[in-house]
Structure 1
Amino acid sequence: MSAAVPDLVRFTSDALATLGALVDVADAGADGNTGGALAIVPPDLAKSLAIAEELQLEPGPGGAGVACVLGAKLVEDLVTRARAEAPVLWLQVERDAPRAAQAQSLATRFVVRNGVTDVGDTRVSAQSYLSLAVAYDAEADDRHEGLVRCSFHAADGAAADTLDDLDLDALDGARVSPRPLFASAPAFPVALVRVADSIAARTAGFAEQVERRHRRDHDRIAQYFLELAGEARQGKRVKDGEVLRAKLAHIVAERDKKLADLVPRFTLRLRARPALVFAMIIPTVNVEVRIRRRKEERVVALHLHALGRALDRPACEACKRAAPRPAVCDDQLHLLCEACAPQAQGRLRCPVCEQP
């Protein structure tokens, strides 16, 4: 029985094949093979990667071919290319939709802080959802890395929090599609706001530590030069005013330079990139909820998808954040979260209505 192909040989082979190369992989032990591969690379790709158009991929150094090991230039270049684009996994979830009675029962708990709601009819349909995994790193004098998830209804931006913990290994009834399942996601901009909020929350402690170290070094330098200035004033030539002023000016200039040098060192730099996108079609129960305020009324749809245990939280129509307990404006009954409408009494200022 032959051994498995080494992971880095497999990665390099798959990455080259994805970019258009022809790759022949041999299992370790087959005809004396050590688990390498032969790759025929298109000329343009070979030039961009600075490799030969025909090369042997080896699982380790010492062979005649290219070693596929950590730190090897080809492996690092292919990793960089792979990280530049987020893979999209298209999933067709083949499960029964939740019961209509369950969705209606959950909808009765939906509260509009300054309006009246009536739960209406339900309908079952296949709905589009996106779940993004976004990698981030925060860097100053130290480094912090992490991953955040953001899941939402692709059309209206309702927050689908239960999809944040999506585990493919435990996901029964999902079929991977080789082609896109839907063409657009109008609500995609909500991801920008929510991912930024999540990253800010995850890095808040790190940012506080950076700020604390900045203050510590700032105070230490300022104290050091303050003591230097004090020693200068007590020196033997203190009576020479010109000499003292020049020396103090030099001390101040040197202090300011040292303090200015701290700024780039302790400036927090954040970078984020999508690591993986789950694009899913999920059987969903949609519940119509009629909202009434004064003489106006509006119908909104709340969603309960087959992978969830709670209704998706509707999106605030002003800031795009989730609005589990919205208020509505008087004219158009726009849904507003508690940050955009902290007080639900009286006539609300509506950021959506104010837009030109």
Structure 2
Amino acid sequence: MSLPLKNFLERLLARHDALVEDIGEDALEVLFPPELAERLNVGEWERFYFPDASKRGASAMPMSGLGQSPTRIVSYQSELLETLGELVARRGAMAVAALAEPPPVKRLELERDIERAIVLQNAVIRGQQHEQAIVPYLVFHFKYTALSDERHEGMVSLAINERTVGVVQGLSELIPQVTLSPKLPVKAPVAGFEPMYARARRAAQSLIREALADFVKSMNRRLNRDVQHVTEYYRTIQQEIEMKIKKKGLAGEELEREQSRIRATEIELERKVSDLQAKYDLKVQVEAVALLRLLLPVMLLRLNVMRRKWIVPIELAWNPLLRQLERVTCLGCFRPSKSIFICDDQRHSICPECFKPCFTCQRPCCRACAPRGCPRCEKIT
């Protein structure tokens, strides 16, 4: 699987007239124009290696041949990236574009397309309307850095449909495959950026949590192992002191002195465990590094969903790049979901994972309404 950092560097250098050759999953060879090489303080011919920290046993670094420049290792902390930041800044961290050759808008086969996009678990569809429209999408790229006993870095990308305010995954991966144009078909209405960014950040947190699952498990295993070793060491010391007391039949001041050593050992153990917990404590830094506002021709579908006596409007868009109706965004985890519940309190659209029954009262609990737990049981207690 190609690395996001490698893909970013490949596209950026190509836009600045460098000749870039992909020589494998983890490496690039680049021929720089003389002025660009001087600006970046690199040779006119360079080979770059991108180790994937998320994979154990990643492929070995390519060896340089006779007379070739040494291979440069590139990570998110490389000085080269700081220098490349000047190139990005000149072009702007935000861009607006449309498809150079927009595909024709698909005529919806309503029943089939709706069945593929959404399954309502506790509600029914009572009506729908559809229309063509030009819809802007905000495509966010977030860089994250997880700091614990080790450092883990990566990027996640997602899009927000400004019309439906839905989170769209998979769109950013398709954008490099199409030709973009700065010529915009219409002046699309601009939604408030702050709510869009807030939703994108919430969705990114969910993706990052998933991406870090193996890293967190690894850190927890190492923490538990180190705590076990430290505990065994100090428990052995305590047992030796207790055996000494029993063997010699200590009493009076001598007994008090040894018991004081046992208490001191226990305090030292607690301090060591606390130090280990601080050592493996996980901190995650998230930063938005780039944003693309992309205008796409879509078919908008408005559904009137009935839950009990309420009508809940749900709007979906048929995406020409994904070639399907976008799924509803769960308001509990901010992830797209095919299976959807409608909660009775605020009529939130909720995925099954965020609408599980409470362990105590067994009533469904909407995570969007009560992110900290069942409100009924909290009131009782």
The TM-score with structure 2 as length reference comes to 0.64
CA RMSD of aligned residues (A): 4.1
Instruction: Find the aligned partners of 1:264 and 1:115 in 2 and give their Cα distance.
Output: 47
Matched-pair contact (CA < 8 Å) for 1:221–1:259 = yes
The offset of 1:121, in angstroms, is 3.2
- Matching residue of 2:230: 221
Q: How many residue pairs align between the two structures? A: 296
Structure 1: how far apart are the matches of 2:233 and 2:271?
A: 13
**1:129 correspondence with 2:145:** no
SS at match of 1:188: helix
1:249 and 2:249 equivalent?
no
* Correspondence for 2:219 among 191, 207, 210: 210
- Tell me the distance in 2 between the aligned counterparts of 1:199 and 1:354: 22
Percent identity, please: 20
Deviations 1:217-258 (A, max 9, x none): 111111111222222334487622132123223323332332
Q: Distance in 2 between matches of 1:279 and 1:313?
A: 20
Whether contact under 8 Å (2:206, 2:333) holds in the other structure is: no
Question: What residue is the counterpart of 1:315 in the other structure?
Answer: 329
Q: Are the aligned partners of 1:313 and 1:322 in contact in 2 as well (CA < 8 Å)? A: yes
Give structure 2 stretches of 5+ with no counterpart: 1-8, 17-32, 44-71, 358-362, 372-381
2:59 maps to none
Give the counterpart of 1:87 among 93, 98, 104: 93
Which of 102, 114, 119 is 1:107 aligned to? 114
1:176 and 2:182 matched: yes
**Structure 1 residues 95-135: Cα deviation after superposition (integer angstroms, max 9, x where no partner):** 03422234664125433222222553321110011222211
Tell me how far apart the structure 2 counterparts of residues 204 and 307 of structure 1 sit (CA, whole Å): 30
Deviation, structure 1 residue 167: 3.7
1:308 is paired with a residue whose SS is: coil
Match of 2:162 among 151, 154, 158: 154
Length-normalised TM-score, structure 1: 0.68
Task: Using the TM superposition, give the Cα deviation of residue 264 of structure 1 relative to its aligned residue in structure 2, in angstroms.
Answer: 1.5
Q: CA deviation at 1:329?
A: 4.3
**Are residues 255 and 160 of structure 1, via their aligned partners in 2, closer, same or farther at CA, if it must alter by over 3 Å?**
closer
The alignment partner of 1:278 has SS state of strand
Query: Does 220-229 or 109-118 show the bigger shift?
Result: 109-118
Q: CA deviation at 1:183?
A: 3.6
Q: Report the Cα offset of residue 285 of structure 1.
A: 0.5
Alpha-carbon distance between aligned partners in 2 of 1:268 and 1:354, rounded to the nearest angstrom: 25
Specify the SS of the correspondent of 1:95. coil
By how many angstroms is 1:82 displaced?
8.3
8 Å CA contact retained: 1:297, 1:333: no
**Number of the residue aligned with 2:103:** 96
Give the aligned residue type for 2:291: V
The within-5 A match list for 1:4-83 is 28=34, 36=38
Matched, 1:145 2:153: yes
Segments of 5+ residues of structure 1 without an aligned counterpart are 1-6, 15-26, 38-56, 61-68
Computing the radius of gyration over CA atoms, which structure comes out larger, 1 or 2?
1
Q: For 1:294 and 1:269, how far apart are their aligned partners in 2? A: 44
Within 5 A, what are the aligned runs for 1:284-303?
284-303=298-317
| Preserved contact between residue 206 and residue 334 of structure 2 (Cα < 8 Å) | no
Contact residue 168 and residue 336 of structure 2 kept, 8 A: no
Aligned-partner SS, 2:325: coil
| Deviation at residue 280 of structure 1 after TM alignment | 0.8
Structure 1 contact 103–287 (Cα < 8 Å) conserved: no
Offset at residue 74 of structure 1 (A): 9.2
CA distance in 1, matches of 2:106, 2:350: 29
Distance 2:123 2:145 in 1: 42
CA distance in structure 1 between the aligned counterparts of 2:310 and 2:264, rounded to whole angstroms: 71
SS of residue in 2 equivalent to 1:100? coil
Q: Quick one: distance in 1 between partners of 2:124 and 2:132?
A: 25
Cα distance between partner residues in 2 of 1:300 and 1:124 = 16
